[in-house]
A and B are shown apart, each in its own frame.
Chain A
Amino acid sequence: MSTHTAAKQKTNPVVKGLETLLADSYALLGQTHLAHWNVEGPAFFALHAAFQAQYEELFTAVDDVAERIRALDAYAPGGLATLAKQSSIDEMTVGPAPAKDFVAHLIEGHETLLAGAKELRKVSEEAGDLETQDLVIARIQSHEKTLWMLKSFLKNL
């Protein structure tokens, strides 16, 4: 790939959207890992295991998103500081917190990511990039499923 092509792709709205999706997914992965480590209380075992399954799924997802950026002849951003700057996922304060707060915090993170992903689905459709759109639709489905699970945990029946 020439430097010229890489520079041109940097302004491609699909690539920009994928960069945001990558940054948000990485940030959410970090927040889910933090929740896995620090959750406490009677629901510890269930949540500790659920959060692990969620961050493992996100770890696979960031690889797919980064490789899609490369397939579009652009370079994938990386490094915690760079990704943190590009992400809009809030960080949770480290300290004692009710288990439900970890769940609620992750719900907000998934909602933030979903809003960006839905925008990217539209942008990739308008660009005629159905392969990116397919990847993004799969990500949306995964995040909506996780949201259902997290919200179900907070229900008091």
Chain B
Amino acid sequence: MSDPTESRREPSTCWGNDAAHIVEELFPVTDPSHWNLLLDLRGQLLAGKDWNFALDLFLAARQAMETDHYLPFYRLRRLLTAGLRLESEHAIGRTLGDLLQRKHRSLAEARKALHRELFEHGVDLPAGIPALKIVERAAV
């Protein structure tokens, strides 16, 4: 689990801090059984080191809590797509926004679904489906 006392980073944009703040607001309104997941997600959003892990945590948290808390997860989705992108979005013709609109439970599941979808549409990628690597958008 991430250290909740970890100091906030100072990124070029404050989207990560805004997203972490939304996660913090979920603590008092969610079941304590979800708090470890929320703590980990908050820590990853603030640390900004492993965006694939952060996305997997977001997908797991959304799966567990979105039914009762749609608005905060909508806001998180908007912040994540504003701050992050798929490194291979041009090669696969899908954006992170497209991916997050589906209800995948993990990035691995998203990759499998994408593989099936491209196969069904007859899209041939010579090098196969690249790994879904999540990277931060360049600061404007």
Contact = CB atoms under 8 A, between A and B. Distances in A.
A97 interface: yes
Contacts of B74: 100-101, 104-105
A151 B67 CA distance: 13
Contacts, number: 20
A108 B67 CA distance: 19
A107 interface: yes
B68 A108 contact: no
Chain B contact surface mostly: helix
Interface residues on A, range: 10 to 19
Interface in A95-115: 97-98, 100-101, 104-105, 107-108
Contacts of A53: none
A154 B70 contact: yes
B139 interface: no
Interface of A: 93, 97-98, 100-101, 104-105, 107-108, 151, 154, 156
Given A97-B101, A104-B70, A154-B70, 17 more contacts: A93-B97, A98-B101, A100-B70, A100-B74, A101-B74, A104-B71, A104-B74, A104-B75, A105-B74, A107-B71, A108-B75, A108-B78, A151-B71, A154-B71, A156-B67, A156-B68, A156-B70
20 contacts: A93-B97, A97-B101, A98-B101, A100-B70, A100-B74, A101-B74, A104-B70, A104-B71, A104-B74, A104-B75, A105-B74, A107-B71, A108-B75, A108-B78, A151-B71, A154-B70, A154-B71, A156-B67, A156-B68, A156-B70
